[in-house]
A = this chain, B = another copy of it.
């Protein structure tokens, strides 16, 4: 599902008469918001789509399912710790998982460029199979198209997913209220930095690997515990900053973030500094923002820490009743600065 533009639907959109698509239209920020609202939602409007949640919730008899889709155009196709196949499974599984759903089935659509190396297809299919097995989900249907040389981009993948929403589970950004606590499930910014390290022309060498992982292995523990979790979202394009902006826009309350509490490895911190990037805006592919009532925050944190995917989790922020609604970062240096939704994307083709 569209990420990082979630509740911005409630903002007044100023129509900008762009005539051409620019890279920022895909970046998860303000420009993407414009594209989605002015050119897509305005045509396809319906209550399911308009909610812009991670997955649409559909009733099937007495059951509820979640349905989601994600296109993957990451470049390069293979990078430290993963490839486009791992990403394509994790991205869609995670959109189901953060709704509290149990992933049931995936579809896989491949668009392959003429001249593409079959050995790479083989490696990526193996990666898809391994990641799907780890997540406990099958690829049940697929499609393959071939596009002429120099018209395609090697390989793009679109996965869609169906998950079963357990009875009683109803996470919703609008349930968040003042006093709620925001947990981040682990070290920040690793997917984006892994892509940068793999991309030619960037001058730093690092051992940072993608964090891409199927989050249902963590969220099933959280959902099963019966705690007062309000909302979850995986911060991909536009990073943690984007998800915090979604929250602030949806509920019109402020969020106070403590920089020193945000889990980050020294390697990632230094790499981001070297590149002049804010780790808060860098994509993650195996991490989760969890908003929980204050009363249950320590319990949720303890469940996270027991799980390999949440072992570095930390309480990073709280929701406060301050107007105007802003995201305020208490910096390591003792200062305060505002966090805003990125305009476009600091690095394109991240997922």
Contact = CB atoms under 8 A, between A and B. Distances in A.
Interface of A: 1-2, 18-27, 32, 35-36, 39-40, 43-44, 46, 48-49, 55-56, 58, 60-63, 65, 67-73, 75, 104-105, 107-119, 121-122, 125-126, 128-129, 132, 138-148, 151-153, 156, 158, 160, 162, 164, 348-349, 351
Contacts of A148: 23, 348-349
Contacts of A111: 71, 73, 111, 156, 158
Contacts of A147: 26, 73, 153, 156, 349
B39 A125 contact: yes
> Which of A24, A36, A63, A164 has the most CB atoms of chain B within a 10 A radius of its CB?
A63
Given A61-B63, A349-B148, A114 B21 contact: yes
A113 B21 CA distance: 7
A2 B62 CA distance: 31
A146 B25 contact: yes
A129 B40 CA distance: 10
B43 A122 contact: yes
A48 to B, nearest CB: 4
A132 to B, nearest CB: 7
Contacts of A20: 114-118
A304 to B, nearest CB: 27
Contact of A142 (B1, B116, B118, B141): B1
Contacts of A56: 105, 140-141
Contacts of A2: 142-144
Contacts of A75: 151
A55 B110 CA distance: 16
A190 to B, nearest CB: 21
Given A63-B63, A158-B158, A141 B1 contact: yes
A36 B71 contact: no
A68 B109 CA distance: 10
A139 B44 CA distance: 7
A145 to B, nearest CB: 5
Nearest to A65: B60
A186 to B, nearest CB: 24
Given A44-B129, A61-B61, A148-B349, A67 B140 contact: yes
A107 B153 CA distance: 22
Contact of A144 (B35, B141, B146): B35
Contacts of A129: 43-44
A63 B59 CA distance: 11
Given A69-B107, A105-B56, A143-B2, A138 B21 contact: no
B44 A125 contact: yes
